[in-house]
Structure 1
Amino acid sequence: MGISLNSQATTESVYNAALALGIANQLTNILRDVEEDANGGRVYLPQDELAQAGLSDEDIFAGKVTDKWRNFMKNQIKRAKMFFDEAKKGVTELNEASRCFLLLQLPFSGPLFAANLAASAVPKMLCVRFYYLYL
């Protein structure tokens, strides 16, 4: 992947944006797969933040949707959005060939994020079609 010849960005800033994209995608996957992971006896959510929110692994395994859970998830989604926003800064500095593919990784540029989080309720392949319809 190459930085655009017209870019004024440093290699370091584009690299940091790439790291942000990786973190954002990982957070999205964790949030999307909470139910599936819980059914397998796993919780990948940050334990310290669950405790701060007054939640535990047992709450996750029980699958109860409470106000505490909603607030916790809102904060996690905000965090993912922050990383996607940071990633977007770097993508705009790439050459066109590189930029096109990475724009598919930026769900906050369209309605994909909600579909990605809901992917456990629908076949995950539909998300791929969503990329092409809304970007």
Structure 2
Amino acid sequence: MSMRGRVTLDELKWLSDRVADQSYVVVGEPRFLALMAWANKNARTHGFWDEDHGNHTNIAKLGLHHAEVSEVVEACRFVENPLDLGSMSAPPRDAERSEKIPEFTQTEEELADTVIRAMDFAQERKCRLLAAIVAKLAFNETREHMHGKKVG
């Protein structure tokens, strides 16, 4: 990385070449791939890929992603700072506590669901999700402030 903490164009080209030919292994990739496989196995076990339910199409699957993002929005609606737990060792306040995994906030639980859905979809469709994330992060380093969008 360059001295200013941003990826240079040469570094981006190098990374893109490695990702494209799959010779670049990202640190933690085996664990990430194992999580993807676990997410997919769990979804299959619980019927989310059953053909007879008609929910195996890309559109239906992306609808599940949309539903999870909506649940994150709902979790954030009435909480001033949904991720501020005070400290990592402090339990969430009752108003923010997840009912399913009480050591986490509702926001954290719902964000996890969005990632799990993405991992499941990527595993099923044989997407190179981690490599794409790395490439996209590197590309985003080269973009202008707010990616050129005007606010307000």
TM-score (norm 1): 0.30
TM-score (norm 2): 0.27
Q: Which has the higher contact order (CA 8 A, sep 6+)?
A: 1
Of Structure 1 and Structure 2, the greater helix share is in 1
